[in-house]
Amino acid sequence: QVQLVESGGGTVQAGGSLRLSCTASQKIYTLGYMAWFRQAPGKEREGVASIYTYTGSGTTAYTDSVKGRFTISQDTAKNTVYLQMNSLTPEDGSMYYCAATTRTPYIPLGSRLQSDKYTDWGQGTQVTVSQ
């Protein structure tokens, strides 16, 4: 089981930017998939972005609402995955969670934002976007 620690959340005005970090307790290139999810009060958990970390290959996927604004990336030397969030809107305000799972079984690209595919989760970091 891998431990995940998120950081970087906070309060920002609409149109602003934040970068979230997720640091893993093991080498992320030995994992398979890492992702960011978000969940607002009263809403279902939503997959935001994923990255294939095994061997550092870096294949990514995004939910439509963040394409062109959010970027997921990895730093294998720091065992950290980032989520750069630009042009934030109040609708982006939520608790953001980092998740990870092993490279087997294989997860098709179209399924990498489904929360039930992931086995390990961080505690979350809050993002608030004000008008």
Taking the C-alpha atoms of 115, 116, 117 and 118 in order, what is their torsion angle to the nearest 10 degrees?
70
Task: Give the type of residue at 128.
Answer: T
Question: pLDDT tens per residue, the chain (131 residues)?
Answer: 899 999 999 999 999 999 999 999 999 999 999 999 999 999 999 999 999 998 777 899 999 999 999 999 999 999 999 999 999 999 999 999 999 998 888 999 999 999 999 999 999 999 999 99
Give the whole-angstrom CA distance, residue 25 versus residue 110.
27
With residue 101 as reference, give the H or E element that holds it.
strand 94-101
Q: What is the pLDDT, as a whole number, of residue 79?
A: 96
Q: Which one, of 115, 77, 86, lies nearest residue 98 by Cα?
A: 115
Q: What is the pLDDT, as a whole number, of residue 16?
A: 98
Contact 94, 114 (CB under 8 A): no
Q: What is the pLDDT, as a whole number, of residue 104?
A: 83
What DSSP character marks residue 105? Answer: S
